[in-house]
Structure 1
Amino acid sequence: MQRRNDLDALRVFALLLLIPYHVAMAYVAEWDFHLKSSHTVEWLQWPMIALNRWRMPLLFIISGIALGLALPAKGRWRFALRRSWTLLLPLLFGIVAVVSLQAYCEAVDNGGVMPGLWAFLWRYWQFRPWPGAGFAGAGFGFTWNHLWYLAYLIPYSLLLIALATLLRPLRFAVPRGSPSDRTVALLGLLVPVAWLAWTVLYLLPRHPPTHALVHDAFVHAESLPLFALGFLAARWQRGWELVLRWRRTTLALALLAMSVELGIRALGRLPGVEGLDPWVLALPWATSERLARALYTWTALLALFGWARAWLDRPFRWLPYAREAVFCIYVLHQTVLILLLYALRPLALGPWLEPLLVLAGTFALCVLLHEGLIRRSALLRPLFGVRPPRRATRPGDAPTAAGASMARPTSP
């Protein structure tokens, strides 16, 4: 099966974007993070909000598309088990050997444990609740931090594969009408925006994100439908043509909605606004901001897919390597940046040099670890989600099952 180069490239950029985003989390004022720099600034909140609205929805919808493109007609349960193991192994290894280093830095920084890495790891690897340890997840005894994305992909994938298999006999009962492009485009805009608006208006205030898989109603309500939508739209050629055709409109709507949301937030900080009766502000300000947020999230996703189809649908020479490396970099990046910040912060390098070193060092060390160690080790490759190297074939050889599977989009 032919690869979607635009989706592969967009996935690479989306995962690499996590590096500057999580580095910035250490420097943005008033936002919690596992380890904070002493050089925090408030202005970083604005670009962070603009990115935050679509960065994880983009990854979930791309993962759904990849699953929809890769799902075979036969052997779906074997495929489901193989995919689950491909995701579960890096998650488990990450909890034990990668994210545990983040927990150590966070716990020592918070004063919850005494310095001493091996003593910390020995206690951490017992996976018992650790009250007062001072790291995210201490109440459970372990944490997956940024790897929560993998923990959510596994049940989402199994659910969609099961539903697709069970409902497969009903596919011929679906009406074959052909509504106009304008009708499809209008419904494709309004229905997802209405759903996202309900999640941010109703669920988000009552169920803030936990990323703990359980008791995370808002994240599931936002992420699972996007994952399912990507799965359903993966092979819908007409839909992709409409996304490409309307990319300028969706980009304009996204910029307008972003401006409205950020503008309302900025107005809320003007002198005098805080003194108004909150009941007066509740409906026009809070509701308008969240409606703009929902519109921005969905139109930004549509614009990203449309412009990616226009600009990135070509076989870039760097893409095969980046496609393999980026998942490994995703697993490593937050731990590497926290270790770098933990080491550099006592040096008092200043508000410019320190973040630049953390950013450049995180990217460089992740690439070096992937290139120099992980991709060259048959033992480490599956632990970081890197596929086995493709076996070279001679001219005339029949394609093997393993070789054919390499043509499918990688997960997540």
Structure 2
Amino acid sequence: MKTERRYDIDWLRVIAIGLLLIYHIAIVFQPWAMFIGFIRSDEFLEGLWKPMTMLNVWRIPLLFYVSGMGLYFAMRKRNWKQLLLERTKRILLPFVFGFVAITTLHMYIFQTYYDIPLGYYPHVGHLWFLGNIFAYVLLLLPLFFYLKKNENGRFKNGLSKFMSNPIGPLSISLFFVFEALLVKPPLFALYAETWHGFFLGLLAFFFGFLFMYSGKTFWQTVLKWRYLYLGIATVLYGIRYFEFATEAPGYLTAIEANCWIFGVFGLGYKYLNRPSKILSYLSQAAYPVYIIHMFVLYIGAMLILPLEMPTVLKFIAITAFTGIVCYLLYEFVLRRVVFLRPFFGLKWTSKKIERSKLHSPDINLE
């Protein structure tokens, strides 16, 4: 079945992963970086964290939403067995490989930088996101295929109608409010390897699928009311920043996060839903770069932090180093060495086929 191309969703996924890289680099310059296993600069840029406190409540939930949307597209042309096999190859295989071979690399670099005795410590690290996504696929696939079989039923028609007014998307935040009240996370943005991150991601993944399933009305609503959502998010961020020193109660932050995301969806739908060769390339590169970026970042920090230069320039230099080296590794190693491709979420195709795809606007976010 032919489906409408949604270039804006591809773009949002690429942008979210780009923000993730910058966010992780910003952590290097915070005084608490070592407590979460990051190489830490001796000079801090604590002011850099102020904009990060706005991003950190919605950047990961956005990726979960987009992942749920991606599953909707993938289901349009696969049965449950094909989908499960495809998701095992694209998600579980890179997750397991990354657990034993990728996250250990930045641990080695951390040990080397701080003169800690070297040891082999396989761990989830930043790849926790992949483990969560695969779990959501297993948990929700029966329900999603049931909904697919009843695509013209009353539930879809009712959902589509419910999403036709601005209260529809906004009401979804109630589920996230209940999650925050029940789980009571000490920090809302503490997603990695926590029950809060798991349940919040499950909700975002589920509703991401439902938003696509409901049809165009959701997108028309967030397009029309995007500035309302962004306005609510701005007010709630102001309250969080000035009244709660950036850590507001979870129920308020849950509403703020969803309002940022719905506003971003509206902006993306208006300005980013068009084909581009750059998007085709970046959409393919985003997943492998996400997998490798941490050990590249750690190498950059190890090389650049000891240099005599202003701290701001160190941040810029590490950012540039991470971006350039990730590009070089993707372009000249991961994309071209055929046997490596499946371990980084790429299809096992020849270089010739891959080159032809890069000139096609039809690379989906599946």
Range of TM-score over shorter length: 0.7 to 0.9
User: CA 1:372–1:189 in 2, change beyond 3 Å: closer, same or farther?
Assistant: same
Q: Which amino acid aligns with 1:218?
A: H
Which residue pairs with 1:283 in the alignment? none
Residues in 1 aligned to 2:148 and 2:18: alpha-carbon distance in whole angstroms: 36
Question: Higher helix share goes to which structure?
Answer: 2
Structure 1: runs of 5+ lacking an equivalent:
125-140, 269-285, 393-401
From 321, 326, 336, the equivalent of 1:361 is: 321
Bigger Cα displacement from structure 2, 230-239 vs 72-81? 72-81
User: CA 1:20–1:183 in 2, change beyond 3 Å: closer, same or farther?
Assistant: closer
Bigger Cα displacement from structure 2, 309-318 vs 337-346? 337-346
Tell me, yes or no, if structure 1 residue 152 matches structure 2 residue 132. Answer: yes
Q: What pairs with 1:67-146 in structure 2 (closer than 5 Å)?
A: 67-72=71-76, 75-109=79-113, 113-114=116-117, 120=119, 124=120, 141-146=121-126
Which residue pairs with 1:331 in the alignment? 291
Structure 2: runs of 5+ lacking an equivalent:
none
Which residue pairs with 2:8 in the alignment? 6
Which residue pairs with 1:280 in the alignment? none
Tell me, yes or no, if structure 1 residue 224 matches structure 2 residue 224. Answer: no
Which residue pairs with 2:177 in the alignment? 197
From 235, 253, 257, the equivalent of 2:232 is: 253
Question: What RMSD over aligned residues (CA atoms) do the two structures have, in Å?
Answer: 2.9
Identical columns (%): 28
From 221, 237, 240, the equivalent of 2:216 is: 237
Q: Shift of residue 181 of structure 1?
A: 6.7
Q: What pairs with 1:12-411 in structure 2 (closer than 5 Å)?
A: 12-31=14-33, 32-33=35-36, 34-72=38-76, 75-109=79-113, 113-114=116-117, 120=119, 124=120, 141-166=121-146, 174=154, 176-177=157-158, 184-190=165-171, 192-205=172-185, 209=190, 211-212=192-193, 216-235=194-213, 236-266=215-245, 289-387=249-347, 388=349, 407=362, 409-411=364-366
Structure (1 or 2) with the larger CA radius of gyration: 1
When the two structures are aligned, how many residues end up with a matched partner? 354
Residue deviations 1:298-322, cap 9 Å, x none?
A: 1000000000001101112311111
Q: Shift of residue 243 of structure 1?
A: 1.1
Q: Shift of residue 183 of structure 1?
A: 7.3
Residues in 1 aligned to 2:68 and 2:302: alpha-carbon distance in whole angstroms: 36
Query: What TM-score do the two structures reach when normalised by structure 1?
Result: 0.77
Residues in 2 aligned to 1:4 and 1:183: alpha-carbon distance in whole angstroms: 19
User: CA 1:168–1:290 in 2, change beyond 3 Å: closer, same or farther?
Assistant: closer
Residue deviations 1:167-210, cap 9 Å, x none?
A: 656666635458967874213213x2222223334413479847
Query: What TM-score do the two structures reach when normalised by structure 2?
Result: 0.86
Q: Which amino acid aligns with 1:19?
A: L
